[in-house]
Amino acid sequence: MIKVGDSASITKSFNDEDVRKFAEISGDKNPVHLDDDYAAQTQFKQRLVHGILAAGLISAVLGTELPGEGSIYLSQSINFRAPVFIGDTVTATATVIKVREGKPIITLETVCKNQDDVVVIEGEAVLLVAK
């Protein structure tokens, strides 16, 4: 039985290959993600991991850990708070903040932090829990 306060996390380090594969799959070939020289001229001074790629860790937590297999997204808000750089290690954590009475629907706080404990992404997810 899922209850308020239940929590789960997944951690991943992002590398050059991850970013290049995501760019190929998604079609997002923005040079800030792929070109060192271009990225060096930006305010970030180095290449960034695609924000949506990093946010994908949230989906991984929800689909494999909490609530787990068979759960279906109803909504997800995403607020990008800080950049994720190639080589960063990101931990996505989902924590149940509401369980709808009489329906298999839960709301979770979703937070991604880097290896320095900086919040890089935060938001909220609503899921239909598989029976």
Instruction: Domains for the chain: give ranges and CATH numbers.
Output: 7-128 (3.10.129.10)
pLDDT at res. 25: 97
Q: Distances in Å between the alpha carbon of 73 and those of 9, 21, 58, 108?
A: 17, 24, 11, 11
Residue 131 has pLDDT above 80, yes or no: no
List pLDDT tens digits, range 78-120.
Answer: 999 999 999 999 999 999 999 999 999 999 999 999 999 999 9
Question: Per the confidence metrics, is the pTM higher than 0.85?
Answer: yes
